[in-house]
Amino acid sequence: MKNPFRNLKVLIIGDVMLDRYVTGTIERISPEAPVPVVRYESETLRLGGAANVALNVAVLGAKPILCSVVGRDSFGKKFCESMEVAGLSSDGIHISKKRQTTVKTRILAGQQQVIRIDREDTFALRKKEEQKILEKVNSILEKEKIGLVIFQDYNKGVLTKKVIKNVIRQAQKRNILTAADPKKKNFWTYKKISLFKPNLAEIRAMLPFVVGTDAKSLQKAGRFIRKKLGNMHTFITLSEHGIFTDDGKEQEIIPTRPRAVRDVCGAGDTVISVAACALAIGKSAQEAARLANIAGGQVCEKAGVVPVDFAQLQREYSENK
């Protein structure tokens, strides 16, 4: 069967990171402090943040083009090497002397996370680097027939107000669908975005009234967002309660099915990837939300940051129609 995503080219802009997993065993408590001693066994690196969005887009069969910033450091080199191994181009990656590569190190004992260590810079891009990213984006938009732009924001500084506004404006000129997975800092900057996909916690933090998981409360939130942003679609992810969709005409809560949740890391990356790509190929908001719901649930059943399994997604979607 023909893959409906195979002709879709997706430009992804946002914060990238490496998810580093250090695994070991705990055999004793340290004599120096009341903390466990983890005996090192192995270490793995996985692409995270906007790079995980790129992985998900690639798994669907579409072509991802990633624009972001990493540091001129050993982890920046490892990031680009990991991109190459995954079959992703690093042409849109700017190597910065002014920033360090974001790395989230998780120390694991068996399946239990003992501690997480974040190595990162969170200040906004300096003007010269901001311009470098915009030049890369504009070059890609000129050369490639992009059908979708995804903003993946982790508040690490790549998505400045100028970058967001400029790219949305350029996409609008070309009638390109846009989608954003926002964070608090630039939450209301995504004006005229096609798909706005916050989660419930973000909505509760940013709206001036209490938002519950009932239809009436979410419909009120959807109306408020549309008035502020003038967006086409609002998807609010509700964890185990599913996804609320609002396309300006219909509002619906798409329920999720019960799953054995193992790790929620990267689920948001998967949801925005699948939902936005589905809308870009002409799926309805309800169909896109159902696909994204299934995809997000799948990755929550697996340990660590992993992209969706496309064959499994197709199978589950067909079974749940």
Q: Which residues are catalytic?
A: 269
CB atoms within 10 A of CB 102: 28
CB atoms within 10 A of CB 249: 6
How far is residue 72's CA from residue 135's CA, in Å, rounded to a whole number?
20
Q: What secondary structure does DSSP assign to 20-68, as a single string?
A: EEEEEEEEEE-SSSSSEEEEEEEEEEEEEEHHHHHHHHHHHT-EEEEEE
Phi, psi of 163 (to 5 degrees): -60, -45
The H-or-E segment that residue 70 falls in is strand 63-71
Using an 8 Å Cβ cutoff, are 16 and 49 in contact? yes
Residues 6+ apart with CB under 8 A from 33: none
Angle 272-186-279 from CA coordinates, rounded to 5°: 25
Using an 8 Å Cβ cutoff, are 50 and 68 in contact? yes
Using an 8 Å Cβ cutoff, are 202 and 183 in contact? yes
